[in-house]
Amino acid sequence: MQNKRTFQTSKSSIGFSKKKLLPFNQVSRVLCLDTCIFILVSPQLIRRFTKALSFLAFTLIVHGCYYDVIIEKEIEETQAISFSEDIIPIFKSSCISCHDGVVSYPSLLQNEAYQALWTGNYIEEGDASSSKLVLKLKDSHPFEGAITDNELKKIQLWIQQGAEDN
């Protein structure tokens, strides 16, 4: 008769009430089965898993909620600036909500902006640094972030190039 080591195990945790003697190599399988079933039905582990999964989902959502930073192309000093193609879009995106000719003057609507800037003495032809328009925009008018530095540079170049209605 061969001498085998045996262990007594109780399967009460998975619904068996019989005690049985098992050979040593089968003990690890039974313990593994007991552990797997315990993990599947344990309320504490389910709560921990739910909390961990909730935290992971929250982290992924927060990390995924960002906006891309738009890097504007640098303006060259020699670039020709057009009033209708370069300046009017700046006025439309940043200024027209207030400067529509009703709420605040000068009116910067597309068909009125050029005339309003000249009649209101907002432009000093060829001298952007002393133009009322540039001084107001540099002074964070109406609030900081209304136009970007690149947009301000376009307006300055347009004035330095003669502020033509092109």
Successive 10-residue mean pLDDT values, the chain, 166 residues: 50 47 50 54 69 81 70 77 90 83 79 87 87 85 73 90 87
State whether 47 and 91 are in the same domain: no
Residue 41 sits in the same domain as residue 103 = no
Range of the domain at 30: 6-56
What pLDDT is attached to residue 157?
A: 92
DSSP of 71-138:
-PPPPPTTPPPPIIIIIHHHHHHHTTTT-SSSSSSS--STTTHHHHHHHTT---TT-GGG-HHHHHHH
Q: Flag whether 145 is in a domain.
A: yes
Q: What is the reported pLDDT for 33? A: 53
Which residues, in sequence order, are CB contacts of 124 under 8 Å at separation 6+? 130, 131, 132, 159
Q: What is the pLDDT of residue 20?
A: 55
Dist CA 125 CA 162 (whole Å):
5
CA dist 66 and 85 (Å) reads 30
29 and 92 both lie in a single domain: no
State phi, psi for 35 to the nearest 5 degrees: -65, -45
Domain annotation covers residue 73: no
Do residues 108 and 99 make contact, with C-beta atoms less than 8 angstroms apart? yes
- Count of domains forming the chain: 2
Residue 11 confidence (pLDDT): 47
Query: Scanning the structure block, which residue is given the tokens 């060829």?
Result: 126
Q: What DSSP assignment string belongs to 49-76?
A: HHHHHHHHHHHHHHHH---PPP-PPPPP
Shared domain check, 152 and 95: yes
The verdict on residue 20 lying in a domain is: yes
Q: How many Å apart are CA 53 and CA 26, to the nearest integer?
A: 34
